Amino acid sequence: MTKFKVGDKVIFNKENTHVAKQFDYKINKPYEVQEVFPFHHTVQIINEKGSSHSFDGERFELVETKPTKNQRITALEDTVAKQSEEINELKLIVHELRGKKLTTTATVFIDGVPADISNAPEIQMKAKPTPNQQRAAIIEKAKEFIDKHDKDTHINIHDNAIIAYKLDTADFGISKCNPSDVFNEHIGKAIALGRALGLDVSEFEQAVQPIEIVKGMEIMLFNSDGKDHKSGVVETYNSTADEATFSAEKTYGPYAEKTGFSRCIREHGYKILNDTNAKYEVSSNE
């Protein structure tokens, strides 16, 4: 039985370079396995001239291929989905436990004296806030920071860069969103303002990035080749059906719609661009 399967990338091993040359195949160039013949232990590949040949599988080495960007995104989404299921199961368990009285056969001692804990208050178990909930919290902190310190200052926004000036001095602060991060106007203003005033803004600089799509986010959709296609502001999103509806915002390409549109966003991948107007749910644990 051959050790390869259809779709594998293979190269001729060192002992068979002469075979590759004989049949017009290039040395060290990966060729995709077109068909496998287990009975004969052979695989079929095609050379540059379009001719197909079957060779014994022992003449080849497997070429390890890195997963594509979309494959990595899909794997990450699968991991997140699995973790979400586990979290939901834990929430159900916690909910059930909260409705029961906790009993124990162990004796608790306080300062060496046995203590009665039968009427001890219930221990409240809180789940860790999700990245989106943490993001919502830091955005609210940024708004409060701006309200508190935006005195005698002026703030300008230029695309993803924000500049804050002190009107009575020449001091200023700049914040520019990292291309890999999600832009948020409130967080950016807080960073620029804090830098202009010489204040610590590390909690805003290290803000958690959102991972779940909500209404109001601006999302970039990719083509099948992983390149930017078009973006829009999310109006609705059904995670089960993986379908989002968008308003007609910042469309890309000659065939981009000029009105609202809908897409299955995980089909070719996406990136959250801007969550300034995102409608986040507030954590119930805060």
User: What pLDDT sits at residue 140?
Assistant: 95
| Confidence band for 67, pLDDT divided at 50, 70 and 90 | confident
Q: What percentage of residues in the chain have a pLDDT greater than 90?
A: 36
Position 267 pLDDT exceeds 90: no
Q: Give the Cα separation of 202 and 207 in Å (integer).
A: 8
User: What pLDDT sits at residue 117?
Assistant: 58
* Beta-carbon count within 10 A of 272 CB: 20
Mean pLDDT, the chain, as a whole number?
A: 82
pLDDT per residue as tens digits for the range 178-219: 888 999 999 999 999 999 999 999 999 999 999 999 999 998
Position 251 pLDDT exceeds 60: no
Q: What percentage of residues in the chain have a pLDDT greater than 70?
A: 83
What are the structure tokens assigned to 204, written together? 């805003």
What are the structure tokens assigned to 109, written together? 């001692």
- Listed in sequence order, the residues at least 6 apart from 116 whose beta carbon sits closer than 8 Å to its beta carbon are none
132 versus 82: the higher-pLDDT residue is: 132
User: What pLDDT sits at residue 11?
Assistant: 93
Position 253 pLDDT exceeds 60: no
pLDDT per residue as tens digits for the range 80-119: 878 878 887 887 787 777 765 445 455 666 666 666 656 6
CA distances from 214 to 71, 88, 141, 220 (A): 23, 19, 20, 14
Q: Give the Cα separation of 258 and 235 in Å (integer).
A: 15
User: Helix crossing, 131-149 with 185-197: angle to 10°?
Assistant: 50
State how far Cα 230 lies from the chain centre.
18
| Confidence band for 73, pLDDT divided at 50, 70 and 90 | confident
